Chains A and B, each alone.
Chain A
């Protein structure tokens, strides 16, 4: 409230142009020339200003008409209309009549709109997104001013005005595509019935039939949609950060409400994008043909991605940016190819983006400016602008085969403006140009027919016979929209489900899902056979098993309705119901299901849906002779889940479990220990106690035993924990575990024990999680607070506790106060006065050292990188910081560090789930289904929670980020840290380069073997798979290098100390892997697998081509001798058309 008051007060004192309020001193120069000077464009490209204010201000979206005029919607009203304000946002037509690349004519077509978020000329007028509705505006008297307005669709949600229906685009088949974002809930009445879409997703709509259908669901803010040459759809996400997303019918992505399964994008860890366009045509350089251009409005740049086929989907690789800018108000949010073959960019022009974190009425919002930029390629001629609106019918049809995607699209749009019979006739006459790809030409004709609402079924079946899988997939997509009306759809889809190519299968199953035939699921399951089933293909099959469940579940009484038992297992697991259990369990017993995956699938499914008798059958399976430790682990863990989540135990004698407590396998022991507790097996107590007391030797086993002892409970467990916790002669770890155990049983006595032990905590840290044990239950914080009354604690440990308590979603304020008092802590300084803020911002601008700041960010004790990745390198708990500096004002960064809960990024709200037994889980919802919800907590653990146990489920106003994390920093360090954050994403050293650097490594911890053996075997020992080695995750810095002083010192001979880092790369095809190693080569050794690669003796970088005999995971190890001046090294994958991919650290 104070802040707002301050802004108002200050702005009243100064003129509106003199923007010098708090935090506003770096408002960029609004002169277009200042922006021009700040651009760096890709080599061989140039940029010029096409249009600017006052003709356009805050352009939101744009599209071309068939006369080559650019229609732009702009919204100074955004983010929210003020009482008394007119609805006066505009649609403007821009025209370059002289062909010099500058708009010389503009017409205000309409000026009575309310936050228009999309514009699409066609059908003799223009479609405009107008908050809750799509309106069709038409000029009937030729003055280019709308005089008719018709509501076409209504019922789009408005819960957040940057999520409103948006991203209008004509598809190649003449349909109108549109998207909506995460907070929008849409309810449409259509002539075909009610259609609802809750949350993000994409619609397709055919104007003449008025049919609107949901195509896919999810994504946070999908403001970009492009089709490739074959009509496949790709989306970008303005807040999702997975780069290019391959979408198809019924695909579901993150944030879709109630989704029990979601797909990922093709570039995890990428910046976020708004807009998407495929580069095509003769003006575009050969190497960029088909490249996808995606504006990164946070980073003031346009990223480029190239796609390569990969199974049913694609691999997407980023190449060097098309353009980037140092100008902080350059906000590219839409990009379209133009009629002259050049690229046009809508620049929303604003130092402030969006309105969730920054006040609606923040005076820094720019409401006046806006730019359209144009990019051309110096060595390529422009394309002659086609005059489609005045061309004859046959000329328009010929234009469907143009090399320019622009011309093809607008020819399709123009066809729809004309007499359909005449156009159909023209279509039948015009031949594709010579030398054209015959499949593509046939597909374009097919699309043109669809655009006239006439699907040529023979053309579909002919195209399906193509040798090119892309053509077959496109034929299926063409028939998909009207599959129910088609006589051929079932036959084609049935063949497609067994097609040699997985992408054709994906589309075949998508078509099946549209049909009413009784055998759709049986047919779809054939798609599992004979090819590698990737995530995307698996998803569509999973989806149809669920959607068409009524068609097959009744058949299982008579036996397996499918071709084999693996298919049945897939289907029953998809449904997550106890269907056909006897058939599956028989197959488990007789060895028909036997791979690790199959056994894991059966065990997991039975744990979720089985009865005690079913659970006993899998238990017996694990008890049999000759069962591997892996299978035992799987089954015991499944039984544990059944016990924990469903309170179910196997029928029969439970004491059979004790044999697993003898196991040397740590996971088997852990599961068995947990089960012993769950099942209250007194006979297991002695073994558990022994393992617990052996904590210093084997902490993992002791913690597992602790679980069992807590669950067993009773006076013996309490007495054991009491005596150990109080024992001065016992080590701190075991005592901590005892305190935790007692607390878990009853926090009141636990609190007394904790207060005796905590003063001994080393360095004031709580390494074993005593505070966490209190914070995990409803009664814990109160019990600890009560025990602290009139007690004192060393301030460091009190601070540790206070930080943890402050970030707990339950907001245990009493405990926070008690810790503060007991530790004699001063209240944390969290809010700066205006004067302090200004001084701080000055210091950051003048004194902050971003390089020092980066090392502070990476400092282990501060933990930033553990939760916040930068460009995918780091944790995933908080938002990726890749371009935070270019999107967030400095005062926002400062406040967010000091008071993390004040502004919370969308998608990162904490969900607080309280169970009926009083325990609470806080974190992000990872996924959910009918029976359970999975919460990912602040340290990345996933907690499965049965819905039946949930008492309440709320979005918590508290950030997962603890306040006071920066309290331990000196002020100069804080200044450096903020400076570093403020540079992220801006042009310079802290913009994540598109190069495919290895960013996720594991670093070798010191091990006595290296010291002893290096003399005999050399550095080769670092690359060997040796069980005793311990590795810790470590990330490259923003520029791609791994700073060696941050890696553990691996001891070599004498004074030699090594940094040893390892990473894995997946290579799709045998052949070679091209990499570049940079750093002081004299001190570096590189291994591919365990083979040392010869490096030049001197120099600072080398490109190497490694032979790859077999596709799959390649291990790369770099050993850097750090004693003689080596500061960092980097390893980069070079261009290989996307056949290699980095393996994510979590999968190592």
Chain B
């Protein structure tokens, strides 16, 4: 307990030092923060590489300890929670997210939506009953629907996170790339995305949330349809491992952290740090999104529901892995000092 108090005190002292003037924004992360990522494919796949988490850890600084990251991304998710629903309507997906959020109890939530929605204008991007048709209409209708859904998403995340929630970050979708002639030209989609970005920025302001403009930071405003020279994605929209490193750097910059916080690390230590994060993410995935849910928790649980007892057994494994992450993090910072 003594140690805990000391850490808090230390952290407060440090942040006071780092940001001496009261006008500068407070840094996003504080020791002991639980951070949830909620979003679509961009978030879901980030778990495989660990770049975003490692960058945030470095940016927050050595004194900001015991950060816990939980990736709740789901491929092609919409602001209505389409992908999170199994056998029911998107409402089931929203209920699931509520449950996940209330279990994670985050202090900080990152939200990243809009890529799939902007790309599916005129095709439709949700099965939400009242919204399905509008989602297949024109850009303006789609965007209004998206922002309306996004506002409700923010409200429900706030509600399920409860009193511990301190910060919310809305991350704009990154721009799409043209990388070869087999793939469709993404010019029109980027024009749509710029409109989505603007609307998300306004939404962030309205909700007193932070906003990171990845679209601008990764060159979306300057997109001219040319092929990317060194693409960050492998299909125009999904980031490669190296692409995530670039994206992570822009994210921490967009949050007001110094880019220099990310430099000077030793590659082996960084690799070990990221590997530890990736393994934690793997374990957590089996915990929050286990396979066989039909049998474990849903309508066939009378057959195999007894096996659901195994799922919480991942908790101690995840906790042990968090310790390994902390050790690896120490080595990263100590190696950095040596440099």
B is bound to A: yes
List A residues at the B interface (Cβ < 8 Å): 1, 4, 79-84, 87, 115, 131-132, 150-151, 154-155, 157-161, 164, 183, 185, 187-196, 198, 208-210, 257, 355-357, 359-361, 453, 901-904, 906, 909, 955, 957
Q: In whole angstroms, how far apart are the Cα atoms of A1 and B120 in the complex? A: 48
Q: Identify which of B45, B117, B184, B307 contacts A151 (C-beta below 8 A).
A: B45
Known: A159-B293, A355-B295. A191 touches B45 (CB 8 A): no
A-B CB contact pairs (8 Å), 8 listed: A83-B286, A155-B74, A155-B76, A187-B77, A192-B119, A198-B127, A209-B183, A210-B235
Beyond known contacts A84-B313, A198-B127, A356-B303: 11 more, CB 8 A cutoff: A1-B306, A80-B291, A80-B292, A81-B286, A83-B310, A83-B311, A187-B82, A189-B237, A189-B238, A193-B119, A210-B235
With A115-B291, A453-B182 as known contacts, state yes or no: A83 contacts B314, CB within 8 Å: yes
Could you tell me the distance in whole angstroms from the C-beta of A582 to the nearest C-beta in chain B?
Answer: 27
A155 to B84, CA, bound (A): 10
B303 touches which of A82, A194, A361, A904 (Cβ 8 Å) = A904
Pick from A160, A187, A190, A355: contact of B83, CB under 8 Å: A187
Please name all residues of chain A whose beta carbon is closer than 8 Å to the beta carbon of B74 when the two chains form the complex.
155, 187
In the complex, chain A residues whose CB is within 8 Å of the CB of B119: 189, 191-194
User: Min CB distance, B81 to chain A, in Å?
Assistant: 11
Q: Is the CB of A357 within 8 A of B306?
A: no
Residues of A within 8 A of B78 (CB): 194
Q: Does residue B338 face the partner (Cβ distance < 8 Å to A)?
A: no
Known: A151-B48, A359-B307. A189 touches B292 (CB 8 A): no
The 9 A-B residue pairs whose C-beta atoms are closest, nearest first, are A155-B75, A187-B76, A83-B313, A193-B120, A187-B83, A158-B291, A194-B116, A208-B182, A955-B299
Interface string of B284-318 (1 = CB under 8 A from A): 00100111111100111011101100110110010
**Complex Cα gap A115–B286 (Å):** 13
Q: Give the docked Cα–Cα distance between A210 and B180 (Å).
A: 11
Give complex CA distance A949, B82 in Å. 27
| A132 CA to B300 CA, complexed, in Å | 21
**Which residues of A are found within 8 Å of B41, using beta-carbon distances?**
154-155, 189
- Nearest CB on B from A908, distance (A): 11
Interface status of B115 (Cβ within 8 A of chain A) = yes
In this assembly, does B236 line the interface, its C-beta being within 8 Å of a C-beta of chain A?
yes
A158 touches B75 (CB 8 A): no
- Distance, CA A157 to CA B289, complexed state (A): 10
Q: How far is the CA of A190 from the CA of B45 in the complex (A)?
A: 14
Bound complex: CA of A183 vs CA of B298, how far in Å? 11
The answer to whether A196 and B184 touch across the interface, beta carbons within 8 angstroms, is no
Please tell me if B10 contacts chain A, counting CB pairs below 8 Å.
Answer: no
The complex places the Cα of A198 from the Cα of B237 at a distance, in Å, of 23
* Min CB gap A953→B, angstroms: 11
Q: Which residues of A contact B40 (CB under 8 A)?
A: 189
Shortest distance in angstroms between B281's beta carbon and chain A's nearest beta carbon? 12
Chain B positions within 8 Å of A357 at CB level? 303
Asked if B289 and A189 sit within 8 Å, CB to CB, the answer is no
Across the interface, which residues of B come within 8 angstroms of A150, CB to CB? 234, 240
CA distance A652 to B206 in the complex (A): 59
Across the two chains, which residue of chain A brings its CB closest to B286?
A: A81
CA distance A157 to B282 in the complex (A): 16
Chain B residues, Cβ within 8 Å of A361: 307
Contacting pair B303 A193 (CB below 8 A): no
Docked complex: B41-72 residues within 8 A CB-CB of A? 41, 44-45, 48
Chain A residues positioned under 8 Å from B302 (CB to CB): 901-902, 957
B271 near A: Cβ within 8 Å? no
Known: A154-B75, A196-B76, A453-B182. A909 touches B299 (CB 8 A): yes
**B19 at the binding interface (Cβ < 8 Å):** no
| B interface majority secondary structure | loop
Within the assembled complex, what's the spacing in Å between the Cα atoms of A390 and B104?
Answer: 55
Q: Is the CB of A157 within 8 A of B76?
A: no
Q: Collect the chain B residues with CB atoms within 8 Å of residue A185's CB.
A: 83, 85-87
Inter-chain contacts of B311 with A (CB < 8 A) = 83
* Nearest residue, chain A, Cβ from B307: A360
Chain B neighbourhood of A4, CB < 8 A: 306
Q: How far is the CB of B274 from chain A (nearest CB, A)?
A: 15
Interface size on B, residues (CB 8 A): 56
Q: Is A189 in contact with B75, judged by CB distance below 8 angstroms?
A: yes
Task: Find residues 154-193 in chain B having any chain A CB closer than 8 Å to their own CB.
Answer: 176, 182-184, 186
Question: Which of chain B's residues has its CB closest to A158's CB?
Answer: B291
B125: interface (CB < 8 Å): yes
**In the assembled complex, how far is the CB of residue B239 from the closest CB belonging to chain A, in whole angstroms?**
10
Query: In the complex the two chains form, what is the Cα distance from A158 to B286 in whole Å?
Result: 11
With a cutoff of 8 Å between Cβ atoms, the chain A residues found around residue B87 in the complex are: 159, 183, 185, 257
Q: How far is the CA of A313 from the CA of B48 in the complex (A)?
A: 45
Given the contacts A189-B76, A189-B116, A189-B238, A159 and B294 also touching, CB distance less than 8 Å: yes
CA distance A188 to B120 in the complex (A): 12
Minimum CB–CB distance from A637 to chain B (whole Å) comes to 32
Q: Once bound together, how far apart are the Cα atoms of A552 and B137, in whole Å? A: 18
- Establish whether residues A356 and B295, one from each chain, have CB atoms under 8 Å apart when the complex forms: yes
Q: For residue A151, which residue of chain B has the nearest CB?
A: B45
B207 within 8 A of A: no
Nearest CB of B to A498, in Å:
31
With a cutoff of 8 Å between Cβ atoms, the chain A residues found around residue B144 in the complex are none
A82 touches B310 (CB 8 A): yes
Contact A194 B125 (CB under 8 A): yes
With A159-B298, A210-B183 known as contacts, the answer to whether A903 contacts B75 (CB < 8 A) is no
Please name the residue on chain A nearest to B127 by beta carbon: A196
Which of A161, A191, A194, A909 interacts with B236 by CB under 8 Å?
A191
Check: B123 CB closer than 8 A to any chain A CB: yes
A198 to B291, CA, bound (A): 16
Q: Name B300's contact: one of A188, A356, A901 (CB within 8 Å).
A: A356
Chain A residues closer than 8 Å to B291, beta-carbon distance: 80-81, 115, 131, 158-161, 164
Please name all residues of chain B whose beta carbon is closer than 8 Å to the beta carbon of A901 when the two chains form the complex. Answer: 302
| Shortest Cβ distance from residue A448 to the other chain B in the assembled complex, whole angstroms | 17
Of A189, A190, A196, A357, chain B has the most CB atoms within 10 Å of the CB of A189
- Is the CB–CB distance between B304 and A196 below 8 Å? no
On whether A159 and B292 interact (CB within 8 A), knowing A191-B186, A194-B76, A209-B182, the answer reads: yes
Contact A189 B115 (CB under 8 A): yes
Residue of A nearest to B122 (CB): A193
Residue of A nearest to B315 (CB): A83
B184 touching A191, Cβ below 8 Å:
yes
Min CB distance B70 to A, Å, is 17
A1055 to B282, CA, bound (A): 79
Give chain B nearest CB distance to A130 CB in angstroms: 11
Assembly CA distance A164 to B299 (angstroms): 18
Cα–Cα distance between A80 and B307 once the two chains are bound (Å):
9
Say how far B131's CB is from chain A's closest CB, in angstroms.
Answer: 14
Q: In the complex, which residue of chain A has the Cβ closest to the Cβ of B185?
A: A191
Cross-interface CB contact of A132 among B75, B236, B293, cutoff 8 Å: B75
* Chain A min CB distance to B168 (Å): 23
Give the contacting residue for B82; candidates A161, A196, A210, A904; CB below 8 A.
Answer: A196
Query: Are the CB atoms of B307 and A160 closer together than 8 Å?
Result: no
Partner of A191, one of B237, B240, B314: B237
Which residues of the partner chain A approach B286 to less than 8 Å between Cβ atoms? Answer: 81, 83
Cβ A151 vs Cβ B82 within 8 A? no
CB distance from B314 to the nearest CB of A (A): 5
Q: Which residues of B contact A904 (CB under 8 A)?
A: 300, 303
Bound complex: CA A359 to CA B300 (Å): 12
State whether B292 touches A79 (Cβ < 8 A): yes
- Chain B residues near A87 (CB-CB < 8 A): 282
| Residues on the A chain within 8 Å of B295, using CB | 160, 355-356, 360
What residues of A have a CB within 8 angstroms of the CB of B85 in the complex? 185
- Name the residue of chain B whose CB is nearest to the CB of A357: B303
* A361 to B, closest residue via Cβ: B307
Chain B residues within 8 Å of A955, by CB? 299
Residue from the set B74, B75, B120, B306 with the largest chain A CB neighbour count within 10 Å: B75
Nearest CB of A to B193, in Å: 13
Give the distance in Å from the alpha carbon of A150 to the alpha carbon of B240 in the complex. 8
Residue of B nearest to A957 (CB): B302
The contact string, 1 if C-beta is below 8 Å from chain A, for chain B 251-289, is: 000000000000000000000000000000010001001
